[in-house]
Structures are given as structure tokens and as C-alpha cells.
Amino acid sequence: MALILYIHPLASFCHKVLIALYENAIPFRSETVDFSNPASASALLERWPVGNIPVLHDGAAGRIIPETSIIIEYLQQNYPGPAPLLPSDTEARLQVRLWDRFFDLYVSTPMQKIVTDRIRPSGQNDPHGVASARATLDTAYAMIERQLSGQPWATGETFTMADCSAASALFFAFIVHPFTAGQTNLQTYLDQLLARPSIRRTIGEARPFFEMFPYRDAMPARYLAI
């Protein structure tokens, strides 16, 4: 198999790329990175010294491709499928890139800050950083609520890379920082994302690892039935 995606099945940024692969039925093999295993961790660092996952290895091209948005664009360029996730129209494409960045930077990143603070060694928590992450999520949720008014997906009528980013970000963000009662567009959007086959499949594959999630106790019951 030419494409190998190095992942962890519970990791939200890995979900973003898995969703893109499933949307276009691109054949690939996934390999789980075990950060607690020095051999597995150092093999990842050899491929991408930053040490983040996911990382794609394209054996046919002899290339390593890191960074979720770049991986998805690379897949579209080199392994195009029936569901392009970046539109060809340049203005529409800019909007997709903007909202992809938005979900990564202003939803996923603060969500990760809140989650990882829970597993810091005792006495090394960062209450100021967590409060700031919650404030960022409040701002982001209000902006997404407005953005979704009158359109089903993040940038319009079509499911795109921005929605891949949104799905992985909002699934976990909702657990650690729920939407307010008035944020009905956000709630409908999350429901719609969770009903999509590529996303159901990704979450289904993550479910056996939910016990490892530091906020497992706060997971909505319906997440367990996806």
C-alpha cells in the first residue's frame, strides 16, 4: 500500500485527515504511534522532528507529508477522488482555507490546552492558560454560530476541508466546553457532522480508546453510540 498514515486513533488532528481519506475512499494503511514506546516515538521523530501526528508517508513518491491541511491538499492533488475538499474557484478556496485554519487554531488548539491541563503533574496546572483557552472557545463559538447562519457547512453548501477540521475540533471541544443553549446553529452543525458516514467511521474507530481520554467522565452518552 503506497500511503501510510501515522496516527493515534484518539487524536483529533488525526481524525481530520482520516475523514478526508474516507470521504474520497483513498486506499491507505494506518500505523499507530505509541508515544510511550521510545522506538515508536523516535521513528516518528525521524520522519518529522516536530513530533506531531498525523504524518503521511507516500511510498510511491518517496515523500513524507506533515501537517493536516497540507496532507489533505496533497491528497487532493495526487489522489483525487469524487469529493474534492478544496474547491477550484479561488475565492471559495480561500474561504475553505480560512475556516480550516480557524477550526484548527481557535477550536482545536484551545480544546487541547484544556484537555492536556487535566493530565499535568500535580501542582503544575495552568489555570490562567485554561481560562484563556475557554475565552478563545467562547469567541470562536459565537463566530461559528454566525458563520453557519443560512448554510449547512462551514463555508457554504458543500462539505470541505474546513468541515473535516470542524468535526474533529468540535467533537472534543463540546465535551470540555459545551455550547450555550442559544447556539442552535452550532448544535445542528455538530449533529450533522456526527451523522456523516466518514465521521461516524472515524469516531467508531476511536471509541475503543475513549477510556484514555482525560475527560471521559464528561463525554455525552450519545457519543458512545456513534
Ligand X SMILES: N[C@@H](CCC(=O)N[C@@H](CS)C(=O)NCC(=O)O)C(=O)O
- By CB under 6 A, residue 53 contacts ligand X: yes
CB of residue 172 to ligand X, shortest distance in Å: 9
Whether a cis peptide bond, with omega within 30° of 0, leads into 110 is no
CB of residue 19 to ligand X, shortest distance in Å: 13
- Please select the residue that binds ligand X; options are 58, 67, 73, 145, rule is CB under 6 A: 67
- By CB under 6 A, residue 86 contacts ligand X: no
- By CB under 6 A, residue 11 contacts ligand X: yes
Residue-by-residue DSSP string for 114-160: HHHHTTSPTT---HHHHHHHHHHHHHHHHHHHHHTTT-SBTTBSS--
AA identity, residue 37: N
- DSSP-derived secondary structure letter, 172: H
Pairing of strands 3-7, 29-32: parallel
Binding residues for ligand X restricted to 122-161, rule: CB under 6 A = none
Contact 205, 11 (CB under 8 A): no
CB of residue 148 to ligand X, shortest distance in Å: 22
- Segment interacting with ligand X (CB under 6 A) among 7-15, 73-81, 175-183, 196-204: 7-15
- Segment interacting with ligand X (CB under 6 A) among 46-54, 121-129, 138-146, 207-215: 46-54
Binding residues for ligand X restricted to 98-127, rule: CB under 6 A = 104
d(CA 105, CA 113): 11
Stretch (H or E) spanning 16: helix 12-23
CB of residue 59 to ligand X, shortest distance in Å: 20
Q: Point out which residues bind ligand X (CB under 6 A).
A: 11-13, 51-53, 67-68, 104
